[in-house]
Amino acid sequence: MIDRVFVVMPAYNAGATVEKVFARIPAAAQRRISRYVVVDDGSTDDTAAALRRLGRNYPGLVVLTHGRNRGYGAAEKTLLTYARREGAGAAVLLHSDGQYSPEKIPDLLGPLDRDEADIVQGSRMLGGGALRGGMPFYKYIANKFLTAVENRAFGMRLAEYHSGYLVYSRRLLEEVPFERLSDSYDLDIEMIVCGRLRGLRIKEVAIPTIYAGEVSHLRPVRYGLDVLKIVRKYRRGYYRLLMRAGA
């Protein structure tokens, strides 16, 4: 069983949601979590106050601060750098907006505990529950299209690449040069691609789809175009060269 589990969380203007996310972390997960690490990524609302309140109930909470908003990927890199330096055995990437279910943390850790995976992707598309969970139809179709393009390009058979709910093993933190990847939402896909090139094992676990008024800062059209850019860079050998340089 993996020990030293860190929950790492980017937070940007999450004052209305972050405490609710923490409240949903199940007791079975809390017993395994060594440290909670949150990056306040230049928030302009009351995120800082919410994190101070959480610190009274979660003594393992570490708050890192970006003086200005640097983007989701930059926040995640700050978190993963901290997790690697502090000896995390696994880093659970949990979002602060409530769109990913904290209740699934034990399930997501399962493949690492069984030594079946080095990366675990929480998948809304696995099991066919995306539309039932309220995913807008246009997002569902876009997700299916982009995933088909990615699977063909990367030689994989994932149900999706786009949930952003991931668990990274210690091995991935040490072997993927994530500091050289994107500062945007593209980082999660790039982590999967680089893990694939390194020969790391990738597993998916079904997660519920939640669309209930949570605030997302992702812009779908721009994100889709960025995904296609990643595919083009992959085909041109960019990530292979990056992995060789980081070896």
**Angle between helix 187-197 and helix 220-235 axes, rounded to 10 deg:** 20
Handedness of CA 210, 160, 77, 119 (dihedral sign): positive
Task: Supply the pLDDT for residue 30.
Answer: 95
Backbone angles phi, psi at 199, to 5 degrees: 85, 20
Task: Supply the pLDDT for residue 182.
Answer: 92
Mean pLDDT of 42-57: 97
Q: What is the dihedral of CA 62, 124, 214, 165, to 10 degrees?
A: 10
Tally of domains within the chain: 1
In the structure, what pLDDT confidence band is assigned to residue 10 with cuts at 50, 70 and 90?
Answer: very high
pLDDT 10s digits, 209-222: 876 554 455 567 88
Average pLDDT score over the chain:
92
Percent of the chain with pLDDT over 90: 80
Mean pLDDT of 22-27: 96
CB 74 within 8 A of CB 66: yes
Task: Read off the CATH number of the domain in which 217 is found.
Answer: 3.90.550.10
User: Within its chain, how far is the Cα of 86 from the centroid?
Assistant: 19
> Is the pLDDT score of 223 beyond 70?
yes
Task: Supply the pLDDT for residue 217.
Answer: 54
> Is the pLDDT score of 147 beyond 70?
yes
In the structure, what pLDDT confidence band is assigned to residue 1 with cuts at 50, 70 and 90?
Answer: confident
* Residue 214 belongs to domain spanning: 5-246
Task: Supply the pLDDT for residue 202.
Answer: 96
Q: How far apart are CA 161 and CA 122, in angstroms?
A: 9
Mean pLDDT of 9-19: 97
> Is the pLDDT score of 176 beyond 60?
yes
Task: Please choose, from the candidates 60, 55, 45, 56, the residue with its C-alpha nearest in 3D space to the C-alpha of residue 11.
Answer: 45
Stated pTM of the model:
0.92
Mean pLDDT of 188-196: 96
> Is the pLDDT score of 83 beyond 70?
yes
Task: Supply the pLDDT for residue 59.
Answer: 85
Q: How far apart are CA 125 and CA 157, in angstroms?
A: 12
H and E: helices and strands count for the chain: 10, 7
Task: Supply the pLDDT for residue 171.
Answer: 96
In the structure, what pLDDT confidence band is assigned to residue 26 with cuts at 50, 70 and 90?
Answer: very high
Mean pLDDT of 14-31: 96
